[in-house]
Amino acid sequence: AQSVTQLGSHVSVSEGALVLLRCNYSSSVPPYLFWYVQYPNQGLQLLLKYTSAATLVKGINGFEAEFKKSETSFHLTKPSAHMSDAAEYFCAVSVPTGNQFYFGTGTSLTVIP
């Protein structure tokens, strides 16, 4: 079975500071991993995805994530936070032979001016 754990339901950073959102997964087979962002009253938008190619994945809006198999992690980072990054972020896992996505509980990012 697959599962996702997002450490920290709320994260606050200053504008211009590093953003680090943590995601750990559990999967019995090599997973596909995703990060989504949700702005207020909107659906989820794909930020980036890992599908067993390069372990460092670059996404939209300057975000990137690194797949670390030994740590079963897929943390999301951005070197410099912008006010527009304030949103809810979700990590998700699926498997190539599976038929369902599993989402984490989400991390709310606040950017302090």
Partner 1 sequence: KAGVTQTPRYLIKTRGQQVTLSCSPISGHRSVSWYQQTPGQGLQFLFEYFSETQRNKGNFPGRFSGRQFSNSRSEMNVSTLELGDSALYLCASSPNPGKDTQYFGPGTRLTVL
**Which chain residues interact with partner 1 by CB under 8 A?**
32, 34, 36, 41-46, 49, 51, 90, 92, 94-106
Q: What is the DSSP letter of 45?
A: E
Q: For partner 1, which is the closer residue by CB, 45 or 80?
A: 45
Q: For partner 1, which is the closer residue by CB, 2 or 73?
A: 2
- Total H helices, total E strands in the chain: 0, 12
Q: For partner 1, which is the closer residue by CB, 14 or 61?
A: 61
Q: How far is the CB of 39 from partner 1 (least distance, A)?
A: 10
Q: How far is the CB of 51 from partner 1 (least distance, A)?
A: 7
From the CA atom positions of the chain, what is the Rg in Å? 13
Q: Give me the residue label for tokens 């509980």.
A: 105
The whole-angstrom separation of Cα 44 and Cα 46 is: 7
